[in-house]
Every structure is written in structure tokens, then in C-alpha cells.
Structure 1
Amino acid sequence: MDLRALAVTDGVDAVRAGFTPEFVALDNDQLIGCTALRWWDESDGTRLYLLLGWVEPVFRGRGYGRQILAWQEAQAREHLAANPTDGTALYGGNTREHDPSVEALLRAAGYQVAFTRVHLTLDLDGAPLTDLPPGLELRAASTDHHRAVFEANAEVFSDRTLGYVQDTFEEFEREAADDFPDHELWTLAYDGDQLAGWVISTEEEEGLADTPWVGVRPAYRRQGLASALLRANHAQLLDHGITTSGIWTLAENPTGSVAPYESLGYHEDARQPRYRKPV
């Protein structure tokens, strides 16, 4: 088996693979699968090499996955040698819950679950709003609030050790413009000039919202602020014809976020274990 740089004419089905391939795996010029390598530095100093691979179903169970994974690890080591880090370098592998073949492949290669992404959804039904804690008020969002949200995110999330990447403000600006541009789906609570809590949603497809950001500054926690903000955000979603809200969180989140979402009626519908191994 050999792996070759991907050419546009190779025609690998990125939809079936679940990612945009960079290399194709061939055996006697027959397409076996494809791979891609992504890397980044996380806020806790971790250098992660995410190894993405896919094997055509008809060729699974023949050892191709092991060969591709070993080749990917060698590519990551080569990159690390040329681009050293002061932090800890890890390989990463992703899978979905109940994906035994990928799980077995990763575990056999020495990977262990580092954390698990959990997806929850809620059918919006116009539940009554909850009062904000005393002294706080909702304010309509605009681009003028981007800096405040960016700084609050950095304060609340940058010390996390579960895969968080701290973007620059310019990167956050681009992400806001591309991924959650409708400020009418942002819910911001202020205490005077300070942003106390925030919920940011976006319409992923007709009738379905995703909520990429839910945050409360430490001084305002355990007062019901997150629940009040989510209820207010749900009302905003309904006003825009959105009837289902979805959110990703981490099962191992130190704030214990799964249970509070479930208390609002969210239910879990997907899990994505994230595997890691030292380079």
C-alpha cells in the first residue's frame, strides 16, 4: 500500500469520508481510503495532531486502517521535529459513539479517551422566561459587543484543559461574521459596563439553531443566570421561527454543564469520544 498527495482529479468523496482529504491510500492503484492531518496548539500548551482517516467499506477489516494510522503518526512526528513545541505533543483521533471498528483501532494503537463531546437538543415550546439576578439587564447585541464577548470567553474558557483553543480577536471577528452573524440571536446580560453572561446562537438550517457559546463570569455563577439567559435566547429563537435548539458541551466539563441543560429540558442525542495518545 502507498499514500499519495491528493490531486483534484482523484475524486475522493469528502462527504462520505467526513473531511476534506489531503492524501489517498492506494493498493495496486486501487483506491483504499484517504487521510488528512490537522494540527493546532491549545490554550493549555498541548500541541494536537488530529489524524483523520477513512477506508472504503469494502476494504475494512484487512489491516489498512492500522497501516494508514501508522503512516499518519509518522507524518506528525516529522512535522513536530521541524516545528517543535514547549508543550505536550499528542496524537488525536475522533470517533462517534457506537463506532466499534474505529474505537478498536484507536485503542489497539494505545489511544485513550481524553474527553467526550455531548450533543443535546431541545424542542422549543415557549417556556416562561426567568428573571435575571438583581442588578443585571439584557442588552441588544451588535458588533460593538464583539470585543466584550471575546474577552469574556478568554477569561472563562482559556484555562480549560479539554481541547480549548484561544483565538485572536481577529479570528473571533471572522468566526462571528461567518458562523453566527445574526445579533438578534445573541443574548447578553450586563452588570453596568461589565458583560456578566452571554448566550450566542445561530440558525444552522431552517428551524434548527446551534448555540456555540454559553458563558457566565465566575462572580455571577450559581445565581440562575445561565438558565435565565438560555430561556431568553429560546424566546428569541422562537421569534425567528426556530423550533429546535441544539448545543454541544463536554461530559467532563468542570462546570458540570450537562445536568443544567437537562434541567431545562434538553436531551442527549449524540456523543463523540475524543481519543489522544502521546507522540
Structure 2
Amino acid sequence: MASSAPDRPARLTKRLRAPGTVEVPAAHLGLRWRALGADDVPAVLDLHARCAAVDRPVASLSPATAAAAFDPRHEMVTDSLGGFSADGELQALAVVYLPPGDTDILRAFLTATIAPSWRGRGIGRALLDWQDGRARQLLAADGRDLPARIAAYVDEHLADRRQLYVAAGFSPKRVFQEMRRPVRAPVPDVELPAGVRLVDWTPELDDAVRLAHNEAFADHWGSQPLAPESWAVVLRELEPRWSKVALGAAPDETVVGYAMTCRHESAWESLGFSEGYTELIGVRRTHRGRGIARALLVDVIDALAADGIDSAGLDVDTVNPSGAHGFYERLGYTRAGARILYTIEI
């Protein structure tokens, strides 16, 4: 006798309640809407620059990030919508993207930007409704029956944007704090454990570092394995001289730790100083508690100092299970802002 129970993918579809169609924001809002592509990257950067002058975001959009977001060669599932005024200028945009490689939870991330002169007209809520509908459609199309999450990062100081997400049914889930320290401030003396040595990152080490990262972050909230495609996007502005890898004992010399630091030079003018930003740092669980992370960061700071860089930056989950927040404070990093992750859990 055949079971009458729905198959597993159908259960996710039921939870998602994905709409059959998703309408773009209405014409009375004053903008013409279409999908964005690689040719729109200059307009996207211009819109973000206009918004940044008002919003003072914790993190700015770099040309490399914008180019990656609209590169048709990337495997990331993405949809976008741009709103253009009568003069052809981009005044609003929304993006929905699903990172490849998720194994335990399916995630859809939302980003949106509206020109300051076009705010207060209902465009933000209309875009969020479009994003929510498209996110549900894209998640349903995956076909797997897993937990799902629709998520957006919001700068802590942007109260109106936070209220928008709450009104749409999102809840604050996590706080990620931006931290930085002056490169010229004293650093502690460090001693590597026996059998461990530090080297600069090289392309030959890249995939081994990626796999080490996936293992190191397996016990971190919200983390999913980074596929090669996502890894390349996260580290699109990697600076090899500032990126350090800890290798274990010979003869295998397995990657046991890493600190991947990027050169987001397009942000330096708005920051008012130069900075090396450590996008990813981690140590395999089998090697934690031996001073490897401290040695990696001190080596990064020394490399930044050698290149005349002013600041070392990174971000951290404020409830990181490894106590990373306090660890960074003890190395001289201080709070420089925060982003809140708002989610709908499905």
C-alpha cells in the first residue's frame, strides 16, 4: 500500500508558501524596473556611493564585489531588480542570492539600496516584498527538504531599516561586531607550538586552506561549507602578503590554521585611513588552545606594518563559542560598528 505522506521536498514547499508569481514594485512609485547585469555595475557603484554619503555604512561595496555579484559565470543562484528614474539613473536595487554548497540549511540572503532622494515613498517595503517572494521561490526550486532561512544584514545604527525588517516579519538573530586596531600599537610576543610554522598564502595552498576553514567553522552558528565558488568571491581582494597559513609538522604539513586578509582599497578614502581586513581566521579544532590564532594575527599585523598600512580590521560574532571577541580585545582590537543579522526561519 502506497504511503499518503507527502515526499520530503513537498514539506519544504509547504513551509515556504512560495508565491506563484512575484510582482515588481508598482508603477505609481515612480521607477521603471528590470533585472540588473554586468553592464550595470558602474551604476550600482554610483548608487551605493550616494547612499554611503548619508548612511555611513559599516562596510562599503567594492568594485570587485559588485562585479562578482553580477558576473553571469558565477554559479551562485542570484536574482536582482533595479529601479530607474525617467532620466535613466539607477535609484534603487534589490538582490537575492543563494550561496552554493549549503548542506544543513538552505539560505537566501537579501541586499537592497535606495537613493536618499527616493526614500520615504514605500519603495523599501515594496522591494522587500519582492525579495521575500523571490527568495521563497528560489529556495523551493532547490528541491531538498532542509531547514531554510531568509536573511539580511543591517547596520546597527540604521534604525529605520531595522524597523522595516521587523515589520516584515524578520527577527534579529545575531550581532556581528566590526573591530580594528592601529597597526603601530604594540603587539605581544608569541611563540609557536613545536611542529607548527607560518607561511604566506600561495595559490597552491588555497584549496587546503578552504577545507581547513570548513572544518574549523563546522561548530560555528550559521556556518555552512564554502564551495570553491563562494570561497573565491569572499576572498576576491585577497592580499597574499597579508594572508598567513599555519602548517603542522612534517612530512604532511597539514593546514592547521589560517588568516586570510584582504585589501579593500576602494574603502580607504571613506574610512580616512588604509586597512588590511582579515576576512577569515580559524584554527582546526584539534589544534586550538595552542596560541596559533594569536601568532597568525600578530604575523598579519607585522606584515601590514611592513607595508605602511594604518589599521588591521576584522569582524566577529559576539557570541562566538570559542570566545573570539575577548581574544581580539586582548590583542588590542576595539569596536568599530556592528551589523545585525535579521532572519525568517522556515
The TM-score normalised by the length of structure 2 is 0.68
Q: 1:265 to 1:76 in 2, by over 3 A?
A: same
CA distance in 1 between counterparts of 2:120 and 2:232 reads 45
Aligned partner letter, 1:124: V
Residue of structure 2 equivalent to 1:143: 203
CA distance in 1 between counterparts of 2:225 and 2:134 reads 22
**Is this contact kept in 2: 1:146–1:173, CA < 8 A?**
no
Residue 82 of structure 2, aligned match among 9, 17, 24: 24
Residue of structure 1 equivalent to 2:164: 105
Matched, 1:5 2:30: no
Q: 1:119 to 1:28 in 2, by over 3 A?
A: same
Mean alpha-carbon deviation: is it higher for 190-199 or for 53-62?
A: 53-62
Matched, 1:51 2:110: yes
1:131-170 C-alpha deviation (Å, 9 max, x unpaired): 11233233454333223312211211245332444213x7
Matched, 1:211 2:268: no
Deviation at 1:105?
0.8
Mean alpha-carbon deviation: is it higher for 239-248 or for 256-265?
A: 239-248
**Is this contact kept in 2: 1:25–1:68, CA < 8 A?**
no
Between the two proteins, what is the percent identity of the paired residues? 24
1:117-141 C-alpha deviation (Å, 9 max, x unpaired): 2111110125353111233233454
CA distance in 2 between counterparts of 1:173 and 1:81 reads 26
**Is this contact kept in 2: 1:41–1:47, CA < 8 A?**
no
CA distance in 1 between counterparts of 2:230 and 2:98 reads 17
Give the secondary-structure state (helix, strand or coil) at the position aligned to 1:259.
Answer: helix
Unaligned runs of 5+ in 2: 1-25, 52-60, 71-79, 269-273
Q: How many equivalent pairs are there?
A: 276
Unaligned runs of 5+ in 1: none
Residue 258 of structure 2, aligned match among 162, 179, 198: 198
Q: 1:163 to 1:220 in 2, by over 3 A?
A: closer
CA distance in 1 between counterparts of 2:146 and 2:312 reads 37
Mean alpha-carbon deviation: is it higher for 21-30 or for 213-222?
A: 21-30
Give the secondary-structure state (helix, strand or coil) at the position aligned to 1:241.
Answer: coil
CA distance in 1 between counterparts of 2:333 and 2:339 reads 17
Deviation at 1:269?
0.3
Residue of structure 2 equivalent to 1:166: 226
Residue of structure 2 equivalent to 1:96: 155
Equivalences for residues 111-130 of structure 1 within 5 A: 111-125=170-184, 126-130=186-190
Q: 1:77 to 1:273 in 2, by over 3 A?
A: same
CA distance in 1 between counterparts of 2:100 and 2:231 reads 16
CA distance in 1 between counterparts of 2:181 and 2:300 reads 12
Aligned partner letter, 1:161: W
Aligned partner letter, 2:131: Q
CA distance in 2 between counterparts of 1:259 and 1:211 reads 17
Equivalences for residues 240-255 of structure 1 within 5 A: 240-255=307-322
Mean alpha-carbon deviation: is it higher for 77-86 or for 236-245?
A: 77-86
